[in-house]
Amino acid sequence: MRRPAADYLEADKIEELADDLSRDGYQVEREASVGDQQFDLVARRDGELVVYEVKARSRLKESVEQLARLRAAARNGGVTSYRLVVVNPPQEVKVAIEGLDTQLLEHFLEELPTEVDQLSYATRVKRVKLFGIVSVDVRREAIRVQGRAALYVELNFRGKTDSIDHSVDEGLGIAFDVDLGPDLKLATVHDLKVDVGDYANAGE
């Protein structure tokens, strides 16, 4: 079973705190007990006893009773300092590349993948919508970009180029891996996968 994201946030912060405390000369124990309660970290140095409990912010409300027990145990256990450390998920970093959707659209207009072209007698490209950029690798010769998008098309099943039978309103999922030149023009297509699974038999 996949662990909740809060588990990873808390575990990473615990390790960060343990490393920092060790560098400051503390003897650090993980998941150590004081009284009848277990704390994420217990740190000792020159008679000083400091306890730490790490909680993801999303878990604070459900942890009120537990935190009260920990505070009481710390107070009754002769602890020098009880510290509650609240961790937040990292903020999402958004990356935008001006005109990338237009560059992908122009590519599809010039070179429609076979699996898309074969969806109908005369598949027509309408537009491309970007959903997200997964990675950007900036190099001297090019900018490599990987991400996700949607390709919107019109499908014609009756053999007449002036008749549209179906418009793909949800879009066809795209996973792309491309190089952009210094002018942000599409230079190289490394990989371009279009998911046509929901429409492969649309004309039957």
pLDDT tens digits, one per residue of 148-159 = 999 998 877 665
Instruction: Give the pLDDT score at 1.
Output: 46
Q: What is the C-alpha separation between 4 and 6, in angstroms, rounded?
A: 5
pLDDT averaged over the chain? 86
Instruction: Say yes or no: 25 and 105 in one domain.
Output: no
In 3D, which of 31, 16, 18, 24 has the Cα closest to residue 46?
A: 24
Residue 203 pLDDT greater than 70, yes or no: no
Residue 39: give the domain boundaries: 5-87
Residues 116 and 49 grouped into a single domain: no
Residue 92 resides in a domain:
no
Stretch 170-194: mean pLDDT: 91
Which residue, 51, 66, 87, sits at the end of a domain?
87
98 three-state secondary structure: coil
**78 in a domain, yes or no?**
yes
Percent of the chain with pLDDT over 70: 86
Q: What is the pLDDT of residue 196?
A: 85
Least confident of 2-6, 33-37, 45-49: 2-6
Residue 189 lies in a domain: yes
pLDDT band at 118 (very low <50, low <70, confident <90, very high): confident
* Cβ-Cβ contacts under 8 Å for 70 (sequence gap 6 or more): 37, 39, 51, 53, 82
d(CA 41, CA 2): 25
Q: What CATH number has the domain bearing residue 77?
A: 3.40.1350.10
Q: Is the pLDDT of residue 198 over 70?
A: no
Is pTM, for the whole model, over 0.95? Answer: no
The residues facing 9 across adjacent strands are none
Domain boundary among 41, 61, 87: 87
If asked whether residues 109 and 191 sit together in one domain, one would say yes
> What average pLDDT does the segment 160-174 reach?
63
The contacts of residue 155 (CB under 8 Å, 6+ apart) are 119, 120, 123, 124, 164, 165, 166, 167, 168, 199, 202, 203
Those residues with Cβ within 8 angstroms of residue 44's Cβ, 6 or more apart along the chain or in another chain = 26, 27, 50
Q: Is residue 204 part of a domain?
A: no
* Cα–Cα nearest to 112, from 194, 167, 54, 180: 194
Number of domains in the chain: 2
- Whether 110 and 187 map to the same domain: the answer is yes
Choose from 73-82, 150-159, 165-174 the range with maximum mean pLDDT: 73-82
Last residue of a domain, one of 87, 122, 140: 87
What pLDDT sits at residue 164?
Answer: 52
